[in-house]
Each structure stands twice: as structure tokens, then as C-alpha cells.
Amino acid sequence: MYDKIPYKIYLEENEIPSAWYNLRADMPVKPAPLLDPATGKPLTFEQMQPIFCDELIRQELDNDTPYIDIPGEVQDFYKMYRPSPLTHAVFLEKALDTPAHIFYKFEGNNTSGSHKLNSAIAQAYYAKKQGLKGVTTETGAGQWGTALSMSCSFMGLDCKVFMVKVSYEQKPFRREVMRTYGASITPSPSETTEVGRRILAEHPGTTGSLGCAISEAVETAVGTEGYRYVLGSVLNQVLLHQSIIGMEAKTACEKYDIHPDIIIGCAGGGSNLGGLISPFMGEKLRGEADYEIIAVEPASCPSFTRGKFAYDFCDTGKVTPLAKMYTLGCDFIPSANHAGGLRFHGMSPVLSQLYHDGYMKAVAVEQTGVFEAAELFARTEGILPAPESSHAIRGAIDEALKCKETGEEKTIILGLTGTGYFDLAAYAQFNDRTMSDYIPTDEELEKGFAGLPKV
């Protein structure tokens, strides 16, 4: 069926989209607005200004404009590592002996190792354009922090990264990449912020969490002249920037007559999934085409499949606005045995609304199965995938195996968000057969839900 197309499809440079697609414009029910936790009322532009860059707030609030031009400098930067290839996974198909056709959109061919760079450079650009001195952010595994460091270095901005302490200590290599790009890295919780000092006092010896690092980054941005806070997932603006993934994928499909039936992505905060599916979901919302869209999340942090659709804080320290999303509660902490990323308790409000309205489905997978899929993918397709991405691979393999049962010749596109070069401690666990699975009990989830704010 796809015998005549190249193994790897690279678009021409002039086929890289020059505008992002804003999926919200086509949503029949728009995502709920961010709320001020103090008043329970929607946050205004002015209220967000101390935290976020002006232009990014406009993008965050814009539910109507379908296409937003990508600034020239951002387009130039994109050309450094884009277009990313859409690859026909012929060797994986052969190993699975499936009639299904599997394609993957690979976002890992850049030094940040993931798709995060697509939004980082946009956010750094708007911060620079506003005349800011720098930005603050948090990072867990380090992909977002690396992407932002690269982007700030390129734009000549200062970059302050709060890195979850356990990652800071266990992943010194990511830290060094960020330092090479001139960023300053603070292990979180730290003594440099009020929220950090409070958390350290309450939980001496804590190794930190993403939620806590967010709190520190926000406090620092608000309290430092010429700084704003930037975030690599969850927010509407991030999904907007990440739409470039899906737009390139769709252009490649049209150019080479590829007709996807299923589109699969991993889901932590939703940045990659939201970007990958954007233009396809747009067609679906407009009734122009139909696709099966599947979010794959870890069974140990199952926001979609076992969470509640409710307003919640985006961080542990409860300093952020409230977002309406599928959430396990901001007090929920994934098991320490959880190796990969995708540890966030919540989910993009855009994706949450679409899931709630029945436009996409979600599955939860366990981590040993995820690493089995990763190993098979590495051995057949020659790319060592990130644990996050491997959730999508697991989902795609499961769909391809169903096709083997039914004989259906479905076409599957999966989002391969990045590489696993900095996740080899997890691979070592898998290689040593010391990796285990974990599924939270209903009681554990109830504890998380109990902390949901009353709105």
C-alpha cells in the first residue's frame, strides 16, 4: 500500500508551516478559562501579566483565531532542526507481522532530545521581544529545561531553571547540557524562594517534585524585575506552538497519499499529543474527516482514565491559577518506581475538554510493557526512544497487534517525542529485570481527589 514512498519523509524547507494552527478555534465547547484561586473568577490579561509574557497571554486567551503567524526568527530557528521526519516503521511492522501500517513522527533529532523545543523557542522569542531580561521555569527529567536553555541562549536571554532535586542529583548530564547553554540551574526545593523554604521546613530531606519546582519558578519570576515564568506543557499556548508537529505530519500525509486511521500519542501534560493531533482533530471537529485518536498514559499516573474533570492547581505549592482538566489532584504523587516522565497530575485543558466531549479516547499502560515496546522499537527501527515516547509505541503496537487478529490494514501514526539517551538508568532497571509495575489503588486516588479545591 505504501511501497512507493520513501522510508523517511522529509518535507522541503519551504513546506514547513509558517503559521501555527489554533485548535480551539474549531472546538464546539471551548476549554474552560484559568481561574484566580482567590476569587474563583476567570483570570484577566492584567492579572496574568506579572507571571506570563504579554503576547503569550494573548495566545493563551485566544480561542478564536484559527491560524497565528510564526515569527520569522522562530521560523529560522525551526529550520535548524525541522522539518522532522515522518518515518515508515517497516522494520517494526515486519517484526510484528501485522497488516497495519505504522508511521512515526520523530521529534528527537535535536539536542534537547524532544519536541519541547518547538514551544521553548517561541516563548523565548516573545520574552525577548517584550524586552525582558530573562525567564524562569521548572524541569523534571530535563527535556523542557534543556529546550528552554537552548532557546534562551539563541535569543540572548537569561534562563533560570528550577530542577527537581532528585533529577538534579541523578541526572547530572542534563544539567551540564543546560549549563553549556548558559542557564543557571537550582535544585528544587531551594532556600532561594519562600515556597521552597516552606516545603523544606515541612518536609526536610525531600527530593522535590515538579509541582514544587513550578511554585518556585513562578515565585521567582513574579519577584524579579524583568523576568516572567514560562511553562512547557499543559497551557493552551504550548499546544498552539506544538501544532507544528501535526501540521508537518499532515502535509507529509497529503503529499504522499497516506491516510491515517489512528493517531496515537503519549500524554503527560499533553504538549506532544495536542500538537500532533491538532490539524487532524480540527478536521474531525469540522466534520471533514474521521480519525481514531488515542492518548496513552502511564497506569501509575492515570489522569485521563481514572482522574476527575475538575478545576485544580497546576502545582503542588498551590501558587498557580486553577485549570479545568482531568486531574488526580495536585497532592497526588506518582510512585517513586515510575521510571519515565508523564508524571504530571493534570492534563491540558484543551485535551481534557475534547476527551470529555468524546472526541478522543485514552488507554493506560504499565511500565514494563512500555519498556518491552521500547526495546523492540530500538532493535527494529534503530532509535532508542524516550520512556515517555515509548508509551505511544506501546499503544501503537497494541493497535497493530489487534489488526493482526482482525486482518485490518489500518494506518497508524504515532508521535515519537524524543530519545532516551538521558534515561538509561531506567533502561538499566529494565535490562536488569528489576523494573516493576505500579497501579495506584482507589484509596490512593481518593486521597488526591480529596485535596481538589472547591470552586
C-alpha cell of residue 58 = 494573548
Q: How far apart are CA 57 and CA 44, in angstroms?
A: 9
C-alpha cell at 307: 482522574
Interface residue with a copy of itself, options 58, 129, 179, 255 (CB under 8 A): 179
Stretch that binds a copy of itself, among 39-47, 110-118, 131-139, 434-442 (CB under 8 A): 110-118
Strand-pair category, 134-139 with 227-229:
parallel
Within residues 46-105, the interface with a copy of itself by CB under 8 A covers 77, 79-81, 91
- State which of residues 69, 169, 176, 254 lies at the interface with a copy of itself (CB under 8 A): 176
Specify the residue, 12 or 442, whose C-beta has the smaller distance to a copy of itself.
12
Q: Which is nearer to a copy of itself, 40 or 172 (CB)?
A: 172
Task: By CB under 8 A, tell whether 163 contacts a copy of itself.
Answer: no
Taking CB under 8 A as the binding criterion, the range among 55-63, 238-246, 417-425, 440-448 that sits at the site for a copy of itself is: 417-425
Residue with grid cell 536488569, as numbered in its chain: 432
Cis peptide, bond prior to residue 83, ω within 30 of zero: yes
Q: Is 161 in the site for a copy of itself (CB under 8 A)?
A: no
Contact range with a copy of itself by CB under 8 A, out of 54-62, 146-154, 160-168, 194-202: 146-154
Q: Is 378 in the site for a copy of itself (CB under 8 A)?
A: yes
Peptide bond preceding 37 in cis form (omega within 30 of 0): no
Residue 378 is placed in which grid cell?
530500538
- The least distance separating a copy of itself from the CB of residue 15, rounded to whole angstroms, comes to 11
Are 330 and 450 in contact by the 8 Å Cβ rule? The answer is: no
**Chosen residue from 424, 436, 444, 455 binding a copy of itself by CB under 8 A:** 424
- Tell me how far, at minimum, the Cβ of 173 lies from a copy of itself, in Å: 4
> Does residue 192 bind a copy of itself (CB under 8 A)?
no
Q: Is 180 a residue that touches a copy of itself (CB under 8 A)?
A: yes
Using rule CB under 8 A, residue 383 touches a copy of itself: yes
Which position among 8, 41, 203, 361 is part of the footprint of a copy of itself (CB under 8 A)?
8
Listed ranges 106-114, 323-331, 356-364, 389-397: which one lies at the site for a copy of itself (CB under 8 A):
106-114
Which residue, 113 or 275, is less far from a copy of itself as judged by CB? 113
Residue 448 Cβ, how far from a copy of itself at the closest point, in Å?
Answer: 33
Contact between 417 and a copy of itself (CB under 8 A)? no
* Rounded CA separation 71/282 (Å): 23
**Is 125 a residue that touches a copy of itself (CB under 8 A)?**
no
Cα angle for residues 199, 346, 425 (degrees, 5° grid):
70
Cα separation values, 402 from 263, 265, 266, 377, 407, Å: 15, 18, 19, 18, 8
Asked if 153 touches a copy of itself (CB under 8 A), the answer is yes
Footprint on residues 309-368 left by a copy of itself (CB under 8 A): none
What is the contact mask toward a copy of itself in residues 357 to 376, using x (rule: CB under 8 A)?
Answer: ------------------x-
- How many angstroms separate the Cα of 300 from the Cα of each of 160, 214, 307, 338, 424? 30, 21, 12, 7, 20
| Count of residues that bind a copy of itself according to CB under 8 A | 43
Residue 154 near a copy of itself by CB under 8 A: yes
> In this complex, which beta carbon is closest to a copy of itself, that of residue 145 or of residue 440?
145
Residue 421 is a binding residue for a copy of itself (CB under 8 A) = yes
Q: From the CB of 187, what's the least distance to a copy of itself, in Å?
A: 15
CB of 278 to a copy of itself, least distance (A): 24
Nearer to a copy of itself among residue 256 and residue 449 (C-beta): 256
Distance between CA atoms of 229 and 237, rounded to whole angstroms? 13
Q: Is 194 in the site for a copy of itself (CB under 8 A)?
A: no
Q: How far is CA 388 from CA 11, 140, 141, 266, in A?
A: 25, 13, 10, 6
Question: Which residues of the shown chain bind a copy of itself in the complex (CB under 8 A)?
Answer: 6-8, 10, 12-13, 77, 79-81, 91, 109-111, 113, 150, 153-154, 172-173, 176-177, 179-182, 375, 378-384, 419, 421-422, 424-425, 427-428, 430-431
